[in-house]
Structure 1
Amino acid sequence: MALFTRSAILNDHLYRRFYLHPFRTFVDARVKWVRDAYLDFAVEKEKNLKQIISLKNLIISQPSKTIPLSTASVYKTTFNLPTTAINFFQKYPSVFEIFQPSKPSSLPHVKLTPQALTVHNEESKILNSTRYRKDVAQRLTKLLMLTRAGRLPLNIIDLLRFDLGLPHDFILTLLPEFPDYFQICNMVDNDSNVFGLELVTWRDNLATSVLQKRSMDENSGIRRENPIKFSINLPKGFDLEKKVRIWMHEWQNLPYISPYEDAFFLSPNSDQAEKYTVAVLHELMHLLVSKKTEKENLLVLGDYLGFGPRFKKALVHHPGIFYVSNKIRTQTVVLREAYKKDLLAERHLLMGMRYRYLHLMNRKVRVKRLYGVRVNGSHKRVSSVKGG
């Protein structure tokens, strides 16, 4: 009830201010896509990182800290592997070690290499630290605050779980620590009853966007009526048509509506509504530890939030704010201002650990010996390896 009352008050305030504001529509001009080699590399170098960490978590969660290689076929679909699980394990021998257990007649198993286990243990210290857990709880809170109802289905949160830096088992290990922040609830999504996560209470101290904080810092902590503008970073060779540049200048000078306020009363085709849509997308991207995510994740979230096709249009209209990479078998949206060439301008603590896994993934090893194993009725020759 508190969330609803607050939303109604803010909505009335915004309605009075913007409802009669004259609006224009986006100019009829084509905004071309230009490849950004640096941001493409930022995406491409993390190829298979999510799958590596997912398999690592699976292995480490087992009592023996190993999994039978004979069951590997089920993981291809579960973790969206680009190849069979056996081939995937063999591709990254600095992370996974295939070995023959000492027990007689045992089939080959997979475990983490000592190097990967070391990185995992250091990562666990971060994940269990008070600093990290408070940070991730606040980012999850802000995600829920971007919704009008202060709640989201768990399946949608799971789409963004890796990018938000949430623990893979956050429902069991993180949420119980913050009973004043979150609670599991029942929801209806696409006419189906699903479990969701909702805010216990709205938190005004978190309802300030990155752009608003930046503006206040530039004005010595004082809120001013000057238009809040987005950072525009276009790659070399990118030339906007003159009428698009004129439109962009006028659009930037429109009032900035916080993404934590409800502005759905605006005409969906107005420039003011588009600036609000971009504000929501911009804030959402800043909540992600890598400042990037699959385009489909954003479209699913946007559709659930009621933006319909507006997220997709905003990505097309504003290539100086968002870059869409076509690397690694999907489309990935990257927040331009968060990167200097192919590196994050400000690296989140968790990203430092993920780069350690990337280093392991790129290490070369030499083959030690071969084992034979039957998987799904066929004979496979798999390698046990050690670092070289």
Structure 2
Amino acid sequence: MARWSSPKDPALEAALRRNRRWVVNNQIKRLLLRFPSRAAPVRFLQSRFKTLDLMGRAANWLRKYPSCFEVFSADAEGGSGEQEPYFGFTKRMAALVDAEEVAVAASEPAMADRLARVLMLSCGRRLQVSKLAALRGPLGLPDDYLLRLLPAHTDLFRLSNPYPHRRNAAELELIRWMPSLAVSAVEAAAAANNSAPRLTCSLPASWAKSQAKMEEFNSTPYISPYSEEWPVPGTDAEAEKRAVAVVHELLSLTLWRKMSILKLEHFRREFGLPEDTARMLLRYPCLFYLSNRYKIHTVVLREGYEGSELREKDPVVAAKDRLGDLMQEGLHEYNQRRRAANLEKKRRRGEIEVKKEEEKVEDQEVARLDSAEKREERRRFYKVLFDDGNP
């Protein structure tokens, strides 16, 4: 898989750029939300540090993000009366976490629609719950999405276990077909423009060969990914055309218009995708961008982005972006404080002399003024030399 990537697109690479720190902090946030008081012992986080792929002391990590987490002392568990360090959200972080929860709650109807569409794309209109966990992040589903959605949509979803003797065999099943949802993003765009559905090329005109290939691809009728007639995967052009439409629709349902290729190939059988899905995606650069950034092979829906920004940003994505901005602010504040402390230590040890720094600034100011005076003197000299009134 290492060679399966598209020619580099700087804008989309920037969109994929993510800092591992933000991923870790989001996991810490989720751990903290498991506690009703939103406060947990630092030793609890320390015990989970290896699972977060981190080393060192948890307290040091928390201090790097003073705008997000605060460390304080509280009574230890067990009623021993001893104090131990705890950590929790700052007021600003807690407000943003609450805002994210409000956005998630408001998006529950949209979540139900996305989940129903995914089940409609799958064979038999059902998927294993254990496999759906891989799609939870891309689809923007919270950890407790089953508890949120199933009680409110008993007429739409049902949990079943066709193999009681197997572990993790529970399946989420779509009870009834929803004609109103069986409209792909391509078909919806075509209806809005009063035209026939067709996939559009998001590459510039200079990619002439890719543009021509896309025209050839569109020369035959579009196959809806929600069509109940499935060609055998890998047998002919019609099967590939449907597979391309399925991947396009699946990426259109994700919040960030991207997905790990490994996760996508995890559903080959359920979505009727070919065995060599990555190679198939590479044949359609007008539609898909493949990246191996951070050694994670990812497919991006090109039309979902304008440069490096999403064309349509879900409210949940906007809420998560605000959390990321706060984390960035906290790290910057920590780095500034640490730099100031290091400079102060060096000054105390005599490695940096304040007077020399002041003299350097004064010298720079004198040089600047001197240069300004010389420029003014030259200006007066040439004015006198070339003045028309001069004999």
Q: Report the alpha carbon displacement of residue 74 of structure 1 after superposing the two structures with TM.
A: 4.6
Q: TM-score, normalised by structure 2?
A: 0.75
Q: Report the alpha carbon displacement of residue 263 of structure 1 after superposing the two structures with TM.
A: 4.1
CA contact (8 A) 2:260 2:299 kept: yes
2-side partners of 1:117 and 1:133: how far apart? 21
Post-superposition Cα deviations, 1:82-118, rounded to whole Å, max 9, x if no partner, equal 6568265455443223333266533322212222111
Q: Which has the larger radius of gyration?
A: 2
CA contact (8 A) 2:201 2:214 kept: no
Post-superposition Cα deviations, 1:44-63, rounded to whole Å, max 9, x if no partner, equal 14655454333212212202
Pick closer, same or farther for the CA change 1:254–1:175 going to 2, 3 Å: same
Between the two proteins, the alignment pairs up a number of residues equal to 327
- Specify the code of the residue in structure 1 equivalent to 2:249: E
Give structure 2 stretches of 5+ with no counterpart: 339-391
- Specify the code of the residue in structure 2 equivalent to 1:125: V
Match of 1:40 among 9, 13, 25: 13
CA contact (8 A) 2:63 2:334 kept: no
What percent identity do the matched residue pairs reach?
A: 29
Give the equivalent residue in structure 2 for 1:203: 178
Give the equivalent residue in structure 2 for 1:157: 132
Q: Report the alpha carbon displacement of residue 67 of structure 1 after superposing the two structures with TM.
A: 1.9
Q: Which moved more, 1:136-145 or 1:160-169?
A: 160-169
Between Structure 1 and Structure 2, the one with more strand by share is 1
Pick closer, same or farther for the CA change 1:304–1:203 going to 2, 3 Å: closer
Give the equivalent residue in structure 2 for 1:341: 307
Is 2:234 the partner of 1:273? Answer: no
Give structure 1 stretches of 5+ with no counterpart: 1-29, 370-388
Q: Which moved more, 1:91-100 or 1:208-217?
A: 91-100
SS of 1:307's partner is coil
CA contact (8 A) 2:74 2:84 kept: yes
Is 2:103 the partner of 1:126? Answer: yes
2-side partners of 1:85 and 1:268: how far apart? 51
Is 2:84 the partner of 1:111? Answer: no
Pick closer, same or farther for the CA change 1:77–1:282 going to 2, 3 Å: farther
Give the equivalent residue in structure 2 for 1:229: 198
2-side partners of 1:182 and 1:49: how far apart? 34
- Specify the code of the residue in structure 1 equivalent to 2:136: R
Give the equivalent residue in structure 2 for 1:218: 193
CA contact (8 A) 1:72 1:85 kept: no
Give the equivalent residue in structure 1 for 2:370: none
Q: Which moved more, 1:31-40 or 1:87-96?
A: 87-96
Matches within 5 A, 1:352-367: 352-363=318-329, 364-366=332-334
Pick closer, same or farther for the CA change 1:300–1:77 going to 2, 3 Å: farther
2-side partners of 1:73 and 1:187: how far apart? 40
Matches within 5 A, 1:2-41: 33-41=6-14
Match of 2:111 among 133, 136, 141: 136
Q: Report the alpha carbon displacement of residue 351 of structure 1 after superposing the two structures with TM.
A: 0.9
1-side partners of 2:125 and 2:148: how far apart? 21
CA contact (8 A) 1:152 1:198 kept: yes
2-side partners of 1:231 and 1:91: how far apart? 45
Pick closer, same or farther for the CA change 1:320–1:64 going to 2, 3 Å: same
2-side partners of 1:283 and 1:255: how far apart? 16
Pick closer, same or farther for the CA change 1:84–1:196 going to 2, 3 Å: farther
Q: Which moved more, 1:206-215 or 1:118-127?
A: 118-127
1-side partners of 2:207 and 2:178: how far apart? 42
Q: Which moved more, 1:68-77 or 1:314-323?
A: 68-77
CA contact (8 A) 2:123 2:270 kept: no
- Specify the code of the residue in structure 1 equivalent to 2:216: E
1-side partners of 2:12 and 2:64: how far apart? 25
CA contact (8 A) 1:251 1:271 kept: no
2-side partners of 1:84 and 1:239: how far apart? 49
Q: Report the alpha carbon displacement of residue 229 of structure 1 after superposing the two structures with TM.
A: 2.3
Pick closer, same or farther for the CA change 1:184–1:271 going to 2, 3 Å: same
Between Structure 1 and Structure 2, the one with more helix by share is 2
Q: Report the alpha carbon displacement of residue 216 of structure 1 after superposing the two structures with TM.
A: 1.1
Post-superposition Cα deviations, 1:273-305, rounded to whole Å, max 9, x if no partner, equal 111101000000011111112221111122443
CA contact (8 A) 1:50 1:162 kept: no
1-side partners of 2:175 and 2:233: how far apart? 31
Q: Report the alpha carbon displacement of residue 126 of structure 1 after superposing the two structures with TM.
A: 1.7
CA contact (8 A) 1:165 1:350 kept: yes
1-side partners of 2:170 and 2:150: how far apart? 14
Is 2:268 the partner of 1:299? Answer: no
Structure with the larger RCO, 1 or 2 (CA within 8 Å, 6+ apart): 1
SS of 1:323's partner is strand
Q: Report the alpha carbon displacement of residue 71 of structure 1 after superposing the two structures with TM.
A: 2.4
Q: Report the alpha carbon displacement of residue 64 of structure 1 after superposing the two structures with TM.
A: 2.5
Give the equivalent residue in structure 1 for 2:72: 99
1-side partners of 2:213 and 2:305: how far apart? 26
SS of 1:152's partner is strand
2-side partners of 1:63 and 1:57: how far apart? 12
Post-superposition Cα deviations, 1:98-157, rounded to whole Å, max 9, x if no partner, equal 33326653332221222211101111222222xx11111101110111012111111221
Is 2:153 the partner of 1:145? Answer: no
Match of 1:325 among 291, 313, 317: 291
Q: Report the alpha carbon displacement of residue 158 of structure 1 after superposing the two structures with TM.
A: 1.0
Give the equivalent residue in structure 1 for 2:361: none
Pick closer, same or farther for the CA change 1:46–1:324 going to 2, 3 Å: farther
SS of 1:128's partner is helix
